[in-house]
Amino acid sequence: MTVPYSHNIVLQMGNPIIRLGLFLSQILFSIITPFLLMPKIAKLSITRFFISFCFGRAYGNRYQSIIDSFQGRYGLAMAEGLAKAKEIAGDKISVVVDCGTGTGFVTKQAAKQFPHATFIAFDILYGMLTQARNNCKDIAADIFYVQADAFALPLANDSVDLLLVQNTMPCFAEFARVCRSGGMVIYVDTSAGWIAHLAKRLVEKYQLFETVMGERVDLGFYVLAQKTCNDKELGKPQ
């Protein structure tokens, strides 16, 4: 699931009512994003219902046009995170999870960096998985599309090399569970760059990862968190 908010959207949508609604939603998501990093708040039923409602009904059919409205800037933060993961692990990434895949944008982006990996795209909304499948049909890599909750991933412990999560509620305890030794999580928000430092601090506070790094990139930010790494596992940050 992707959280869609960009001032470019407001400028490009013709209907004034739609413009106003999107503008207000941008402000709202910008305010609540830091709270979604707090597990006790993110796990509340009302929080998850609100997010699912927005993604399923309010924005579900508009995702691609929203992405397009960023005019090439939507993927910049994730691109930086993926480049860093590639620098750390090289070609040792074999299993990649896209948690909250939405339109499949991140899966397509990651497949360019790790073309020989196997991908698992999760989303709680079946309609978004359908969009992702259609958008990724030209990718040569093996991709499995699974309807599942990010807070209860149907994956074994220590089974994932790289987990990607963009513009959705992160569950770092669950992400740490499924990542193997040296495994990495890249958390991205494409528009809330103003909380980049706060997001990094909150991830560090979980004390689930050996290394946490990140930075603001254009409108957004990325945080890369890596589990304790043995010498024979994935590489260590330089």
Question: Using one digit for the tens of pLDDT, what is the confidence trace for 158-182?
Answer: 999 999 999 888 899 999 999 999 9
Q: What percent of the chain has pLDDT over 70?
A: 74
Are residues 48 and 94 located together in one domain of the fold? no
- Select from 27, 44, 68 the last residue of a domain: 68
How far apart are the C-alpha atoms of 77 and 88, rounded to whole Å? Answer: 17
Report the candidate in 197, 229, 193 with the shortest Cα–Cα distance to residue 213: 197
Residues 124 and 202 occupy one common structural domain: yes
Total domains in the chain come to 2
Question: Residue 184 and residue 211: Cα distance in Å, rounded?
Answer: 9
Q: Within this chain, do residues 145 and 206 fall inside the same structural domain, yes or no?
A: yes
Name the band, by pLDDT with cuts 50, 70 and 90, for residue 65.
low
CA gap 120, 153 in Å, rounded? 11
137, 195: one domain: yes
> What separation, in Å, do the N-terminal and C-terminal C-alpha atoms of the chain show?
32
Tell me, yes or no, whether 50 and 135 share the same domain.
no
118 and 57: one domain? no
Q: Are residues 100 and 135 in the same domain?
A: yes
Q: Is residue 80 part of a domain?
A: yes
Cα 191 from Cα 5, distance rounded (Å):
7
Residues 39 and 123 in one domain: no
- Give the orientation angle of helix 76-89 with respect to helix 105-113, to 10 degrees: 30
Distances (CA, A) of 5 to 19, 65, 67, 124: 11, 12, 9, 20
Report residue 60 as tokens: 């579900």
Higher-pLDDT residue of 13 and 28 is 28
What pLDDT does 215 receive? Answer: 95
* 236 inside domain: no
pTM of the model: 0.82
What are 182-216's pLDDT values in tens digits?
999 999 988 888 889 999 999 999 999 999 999 99
Q: Would you state the structure tokens that stand for residue 134, as one six-digit string?
A: 């259609």
Provide the domain limits for residue 31.
7-68
190/140 same-domain check? yes
198 with 97, same domain: the answer is yes
Q: What is the CATH number for 179?
A: 3.40.50.150
Which of 21, 49, 68 is at the close of a domain? 68
Look at residue 34 and tell me if it is in a domain: yes
**CA–CA gap between residue 23 and residue 19 (Å, rounded):** 6
Is there a single domain that holds both residue 89 and residue 184?
yes
Confidence of residue 16 (pLDDT cuts 50, 70, 90): low
In a domain, 235, yes or no: no
Could you say which of 37, 68, 99 is where a domain stops? 68
